[in-house]
Each structure stands twice: as C-alpha cells, then as structure tokens.
Amino acid sequence: MIKLRLKRFGKKREASFRLVASNSTTRRDGRPLQELGFYNPRTKETRLDTEALRIRLGQGAQPTDAVRALLEKGGLL
C-alpha cells in the first residue's frame, strides 16, 4: 500500500518536512517513491505539487493524519 507521509529533514530542533509517497513498510526517512511537496512548521510555509497529488490519490494512496490536514488546508480534500 502506498502512503502519503511526511519525511523529516533539517537541523536539530529546526525540522522541515517533505511530503512524499512511499510504501507503507519503508522507514520514515527511507527512499521515497516520489516527492510531492514541502512543509515548514516554523514559518507555516507549504508547497504542494497538486497534479502529482491528485494522481497519487486517484491511484489509492492513503494520507496519514498530518498529511490529510495539510491537504484539507490546501483544498485538495
């Protein structure tokens, strides 16, 4: 099953996240199938690749709770 999840990157205590599509059995920071966006919780900056997200959701990808909130905020769900 493909999951849409957040992948952490950045320095200690200054985390940023990439929104990625990956298999549900892979690690959080493992190699993703596709990168779909970016989220910075400190500045609330969000960039989403809407076309790629629509394609992945159409294929049956399941977003995590945090990703679902970002997608609802962006107007995709």
CA-angle at 13, arms to 8 and 18, nearest 5°: 20
What's the mean per-residue pLDDT of the chain?
A: 91
- At residue 76 the predicted structure's pLDDT band, cuts being 50, 70 and 90, is confident
> What's the predicted TM-score (pTM) here?
0.84
pLDDT tens sequence across 14-44: 999 999 999 989 888 788 899 999 999 999 9
Query: How many domains in the chain?
Result: 1
Closest CA to 41 of 69, 4, 3: 69
| 24: CATH | 3.30.1320.10
**Which residue range is the domain that position 59 belongs to?**
2-74
Closest CA to 4 of 48, 45, 41, 44: 48
